[in-house]
Structure 1
Amino acid sequence: LDGPGEDEERLRSEFVADDGAALFTSLWGTLGEGVSFDGDDARTVVVVGVPYPHLSDRTEAVQDAYNRAFSDRDRARDPGWLYAVEIPTIRKTRQALGRVIRGPEDFGVRILADRRYTTADMGKYSVRSAFPPEEREELLDIDPEKLKFAMLNFYQDHDAYDGPPPSP
């Protein structure tokens, strides 16, 4: 469990040394991006929720500045929210997902656990459209009840088990 004051390198080392480990961190921490997990070190990443930053007076001031600078160019959307909050949030999410696929030989499961990532009509709360088109094509909506079977099948198809697969 990562948190304030934790030694991130020690946590990363302990995580990669233990085949049965799970690492929990915030996307606004240091282990969600810029850290290399090679080979089998991180075959699955789960992003729970949409990791919006803490909204503060400073964030609101940045949003206001973007609104003043870009409101004449983009009347359909709130440019302040887009540039100050949504784009950095999706960038953080994409960085975390990138811990799985680091090179052409890598494979793994990347889970976005929040309805706002799906094709469901969430109106202004949907964030799926914030992803680049080629990444949106990769997003599959899977019923949560079927996720464990989809993952089991995916990893079996990639011969990822050193023996029989685990029981769901």
Structure 2
Amino acid sequence: MDSFAGELGVDFPIRLEANHVVNMRKQVFIGAIMNGPGNVDLISTYKNQQNFQYQDSMGFLLLQYAQVIPGGILMFFPSYALMGTLKARWQRTGVWAELEKHKQVFSEPRLGGKDFDALLDRYKAKIAEHSAAHSIPSGWVHSRTDAEGPCQTGAIFLAVYRGKVSEGIDFSDDNARAVLAVGIPFPNFKDLQVSLKREYQDNKSRFDRKLMNGSWWYKLQAFRALNQALGRCIRHRRDYGAVILIDSRHRGNMHGNSLSKWMRPYVQEFRLSEDSNPLFAEFFQRNQ
């Protein structure tokens, strides 16, 4: 709200940040993961993204969740470049093939239009296929196999913050039982418009301390996009799902005040991804 007031130059004397319509303790699981499989730091800086250990740990983390989350998973990345890098690495190492044993994997195209609409229809059709096959939506089946191996239990949609998947599309119920949020989507620091806007905010804030400076504005843009994506998961009062923040910069609730009000008190921090598994499993078993 502060960002809107500062950018519009209008004060809002009456403000409301509402709570969610669901029972947060029973219907939503919110976790922040610091280190992934292999005890790899999952900080999503550009330098760390080039590290094969980071790329592999992220793949094994997704594989771990694909085996226990029913229905659909939305996984958001800060950029198409990172999504493409991870996808290529997982295909080379065999992780992609392992993922496909549990869920069909889709990835958001750079361009929207009919191609995106067709892809979204295929994703939702795969979810509907899973839901129809289970009178009680049951994705908790990693021990359940047929003659050829594990059964697919839905689908994964790889997407980017500020893309079409993150904004305005309804992923209720089985269409998104979990949102995995990779990194913090800060705008490109070297982008001319971004640098000029930061400079503009710095100049304005020197004369009016109530206005945000460039650094504050920059952070708000990142968390506005992050919160928008996290909201894809819970769409009505009977819905349930998990929200997982994947980046060690969430340690110690460092950015807690930048998250949407409805989730702030409920973030559980896990040093290792494996530490979240028992609670994660219990959450989905309880809600199915």
- Using structure 1 for the length normalisation, give the TM-score: 0.80
Superposed displacement of residue 116, structure 1: 1.4
Matches of 2:202 and 2:258, distance apart in 1: 18
Superposed displacement of residue 95, structure 1: 1.1
Matches of 1:134 and 1:41, distance apart in 2: 21
Cα deviation code 1:109-156 (max 9, x no counterpart): 000101112316xxxxx4333224543212111231122332211101
Matches of 2:262 and 2:230, distance apart in 1: 14
CA change 1:135–1:29 in 2 (3 A) is same
CA RMSD of aligned residues (A): 2.0
Matches of 1:132 and 1:38, distance apart in 2: 19
Residue 164 of structure 1 is matched in structure 2 by none
Tell me if 1:94 matches 2:227: yes
Residue 4 of structure 1 is matched in structure 2 by 110
3-state secondary structure, aligned to 2:160:
coil
Matched AA of 1:9: D
Matches of 1:74 and 1:118, distance apart in 2: 29
- Using structure 2 for the length normalisation, give the TM-score: 0.49
Residue 274 of structure 2 is matched in structure 1 by 145
Tell me if 1:45 matches 2:179: yes
Matches of 1:140 and 1:118, distance apart in 2: 10
Superposed displacement of residue 62, structure 1: 0.2
Greater relative contact order (Cα < 8 A, sep 6+): 2
Tell me if 1:115 matches 2:248: yes
Pick the structure with greater CA Rg: 2
Superposed displacement of residue 38, structure 1: 2.0
Matches of 2:256 and 2:282, distance apart in 1: 25
Residue 209 of structure 2 is matched in structure 1 by 73
Matches of 1:148 and 1:5, distance apart in 2: 36
3-state secondary structure, aligned to 2:156:
coil
Tell me if 1:127 matches 2:263: no
Question: Which 5+ residue runs of structure 1 have no aligned equivalent?
Answer: 121-125, 161-168
Question: Which 5+ residue runs of structure 2 have no aligned equivalent?
Answer: 1-106, 128-153
Matches of 2:235 and 2:260, distance apart in 1: 18
3-state secondary structure, aligned to 1:50:
coil
**Which of 121, 125, 130 is the aligned partner of 1:13?**
121
Give runs of aligned pairs for residues 47-62 of structure 1, distance below 5 A.
Answer: 47-55=181-189, 56-62=191-197
- Relative to its length, the structure with more strand (as a share) is 2
